[in-house]
Structure 1
Amino acid sequence: MKLEASASGVYPIAPTPFHADGRVDVQSIDRLCDFYVESGCTGMTVLGVLGEAPKLDAQEALDVAFRFIKRAPSLPTIVGVSAPGFAAMRSLARAAMDAGAAGVMIAPPNTLRTDDQIVSYYSQAADAIGADVPFCIQDYPLNFSVVMTPLVLKRIITDNPSCVMLKHEDWPGLEKISTLRKWQAAGELRHVSILCGNNGLFLDFEMERGADGAMTGYAFADMLVDTVRLSKAGRRDEAHDLFDAHLPLLRYEQQPGLGLNARKYILMRRGLLSSHALRAPGGSLSAAAVEEIEYLLARVARFDKRAACPPLADKARSA
């Protein structure tokens, strides 16, 4: 079940769950997988930025990827394989594909500055992992400090037949989607799937610009599924109404530094994670932050009952 350019829907970025002592929480991985399947997700992505991949050793990374792949065989799984060197990238990519992954995702190192450097890097990366491994470009300049213009993306896609997907996380980036789809319509660029990240901050309009779905870690993947479905069905106001109800909480989750812990806390409140712990080094939520998240959950629940969480004991809040 290899990744194809026709991929669409929602591929949530899965967190790597940890116990409070830093051990990988495999039972929470299983709950997440079951939730993604039940929510109507069409795939999932592991070992991304949300997956705290740099905090895992090589064997742990493989074990985490394997657990997700084996638990949800019906979902095409994309494995993040970004690494400082191509040897490590190739090793993880080949092992993941052998285990049943659908494809891999590659982010650019922050040392790339010119267009030619970026294009050359992806050509070398594609050669390193093998032409038989479908890959997704991760375009996230706010995090990686690498700016990919539409023309650069066009060159990467054209030069590498194994490139089948773009994870679009530029901001502002709506015009980038429009440009790529315009070239496609004119026959100047082959079709690739465009799934949008950056916590889905602009997913409502990204869908209208030609995106195929979402690839992000917002704690309500089921809401993302509904938003994408409504948008594709042309039910614009319903899609925006649902998205708007979640926007304050979604925005809160996207805070640099704090956001990952907040997201894990919400997933814990939804019964999907045993703990919202980050692996060290990582911060923790203050009592004020917890109160704010609880307040936002209650507000979202007025419109979307999926945000209604049962009362939580004080001890569980700090888990």
Structure 2
Amino acid sequence: MTSFFKGVYPIMATPFNPDETLDLDGFRKSIAFMVDAGAQGATITGVLGESNRMTDKEREALIRVAVDVAGTCGRPFRVCVGTSHAGISATADLSQMAQDLGADAVMVTPTKELAPTPDDMLVELYARVAKKCPGLPIVLQDHPASTQVHMSVPLLCRIVLEVPTVTCIKLESLPTPAKIAQVRQKWAQVPPKQECTILTGLGALYGGFDLEQGTEGFMTGFAFPEILAAMNHAAQAGDMERAHALYARFLPLMVFEQQPGVAVRKELYRRRGLLKSGHVRAPAPSSVSPVLAKALEKLLVRTFGSGCDLTKPLPAEVFT
């Protein structure tokens, strides 16, 4: 099995109206924007998509919209669905629902039940999803900051070796550059049968350094996928100096967006014209604070100038 997980896959924010109902029109607009911005796909119902605050019926509605936009956009655009759940059976069932609704892949993140979680149980998690959804590509998300599950390099490589439909690792375990290098070294000794790529997450905070170690793109929620695409294009072309120059230039924006919670990201989506409201579901604070909103406005002007229309994909001159 080859992997199509190369390039940029934004982790999508889930739009809610102020009354906390789904804003499906805003979600459709957001997915279409990522198509126009040149992303290779999108990941929905992830942790920062507020998946833990949604019902299964709402998940289904979001998948249907994303698959519909992808199917009518005129080019390959992959829909990956976050299906993580505290129970293995529930994770497998949510994955099957995503597959039945036309998703191209699922992203699975382990949840902490035992301390520490036995390696065999983590292997079983991915094996059960694979058995329930034959042929469906799986993204293994390694993000101990949110899960409290620490997966060693030997365990990651074991899962990839034993579960052939795991075709991507979203590696977010610090320090990421060192862990990426260690996984690559293991694979050089014992290559998996399938192609398995590694994508950068964590809001691209360490993106320049991750690209140096051989990541093949980004799967993260940064609201400017055009910037990530430019960095990745430079890195894949062997021009790490340009990749790092772009990284250094836009890092303050990445850092600002990566503050805890999702309110800042939703405010950026709103300023990009994708959402009517940046509402975040309870019990989180419902919106970005006035202080942060003002600081964000100043940062955007410093980064792009006062005349840049952020409601459209960034023009080429931004990157010169």
TM-score (norm 2): 0.89
Once the two structures are TM-superposed, the CA of residue 186 in structure 1 deviates from its matched residue by 3.5
Once the two structures are TM-superposed, the CA of residue 303 in structure 1 deviates from its matched residue by 11
User: What is the 5 A alignment of 1:191-202?
Assistant: 191-202=195-206
Once the two structures are TM-superposed, the CA of residue 117 in structure 1 deviates from its matched residue by 4.4
- For residues 271-309 of structure 1, the C-alpha deviation after alignment (integer angstroms, 9 at most, x for no partner) is 111111112222032211111111111111149946599
Higher mean displacement: 110-119 or 16-25: 110-119
Aligned position for 2:101: 99
Aligned position for 2:238: 234
Once the two structures are TM-superposed, the CA of residue 91 in structure 1 deviates from its matched residue by 2.7
Aligned position for 1:278: 280
Aligned position for 1:32: 30
SS at match of 1:194: strand
SS at match of 2:139: strand
C-alpha distance in 1 between matches for 2:6 and 2:228: 12
- 1:42 aligned to 40, 44, 53, which one? 40
C-alpha distance in 2 between matches for 1:279 and 1:35: 23
SS at match of 2:145: helix
Higher mean displacement: 274-283 or 115-124: 115-124
Once the two structures are TM-superposed, the CA of residue 49 in structure 1 deviates from its matched residue by 1.0
C-alpha distance in 2 between matches for 1:221 and 1:145: 28
Does the CA contact (< 8 Å) of 1:297 and 1:307 recur in 2?
no
- 2:125 aligned to 117, 122, 125, which one? 122
C-alpha distance in 2 between matches for 1:159 and 1:234: 32
C-alpha distance in 1 between matches for 2:164 and 2:130: 11
Aligned position for 2:316: none
The answer to whether 1:157 aligns with 2:160 is yes
The answer to whether 1:110 aligns with 2:108 is no
Once the two structures are TM-superposed, the CA of residue 127 in structure 1 deviates from its matched residue by 5.1
C-alpha distance in 1 between matches for 2:30 and 2:126: 34
Q: Which residue identity does 1:34 align to in structure 2?
A: A
Aligned position for 1:301: 304
The answer to whether 1:203 aligns with 2:207 is yes
- For residues 121-180 of structure 1, the C-alpha deviation after alignment (integer angstroms, 9 at most, x for no partner) is 434533563333221111001111111111110111111112111111112111111122
Once the two structures are TM-superposed, the CA of residue 63 in structure 1 deviates from its matched residue by 0.6
Distance 1:24 1:114, change over 3 A: closer
SS at match of 1:171: coil
Q: Which residue identity does 2:13 align to in structure 1?
A: P
User: What is the 5 A alignment of 1:1-319?
Assistant: 4-73=2-71, 74-112=76-114, 113-126=116-129, 129-190=132-193, 191-257=195-261, 260-283=262-285, 284-302=287-305, 305=308
TM-score (norm 1): 0.89
Could you say what the CA RMSD is over the residues aligned between the two structures, in angstroms?
Answer: 2.2
Distance 1:245 1:308, change over 3 A: farther
C-alpha distance in 2 between matches for 1:174 and 1:55: 32
Q: Which residue identity does 1:147 align to in structure 2?
A: H
SS at match of 1:137: strand
Once the two structures are TM-superposed, the CA of residue 26 in structure 1 deviates from its matched residue by 1.2
Distance 1:303 1:238, change over 3 A: farther
Higher mean displacement: 55-64 or 188-197: 188-197
SS at match of 1:44: strand
Once the two structures are TM-superposed, the CA of residue 4 in structure 1 deviates from its matched residue by 4.1
Does the CA contact (< 8 Å) of 2:138 and 2:165 recur in 1?
yes
- For residues 184-240 of structure 1, the C-alpha deviation after alignment (integer angstroms, 9 at most, x for no partner) is 334444441111111111111211101111000011011111111111112222222
C-alpha distance in 2 between matches for 1:213 and 1:184: 19
C-alpha distance in 2 between matches for 1:303 and 1:182: 46
Q: Which residue identity does 1:139 align to in structure 2?
A: D
C-alpha distance in 2 between matches for 1:12 and 1:303: 25
SS at match of 1:109: coil
User: Which 5+ residue runs of structure 1 have no aligned equivalent?
Assistant: 310-319
**May I ask how many residue pairs the two structures share in their alignment?**
305
C-alpha distance in 1 between matches for 2:64 and 2:254: 29
Higher mean displacement: 108-117 or 223-232: 108-117
- For residues 93-145 of structure 1, the C-alpha deviation after alignment (integer angstroms, 9 at most, x for no partner) is 12211221111111111224145245344345335633332211110011111
Q: Which residue identity does 2:236 align to in structure 1?
A: K
SS at match of 1:92: helix
SS at match of 1:50: helix
Higher mean displacement: 58-67 or 240-249: 240-249
- Give % identity: 32
Once the two structures are TM-superposed, the CA of residue 34 in structure 1 deviates from its matched residue by 1.5
Distance 1:301 1:91, change over 3 A: same
- For residues 21-49 of structure 1, the C-alpha deviation after alignment (integer angstroms, 9 at most, x for no partner) is 11111111121112111111111100001
Aligned position for 1:315: none
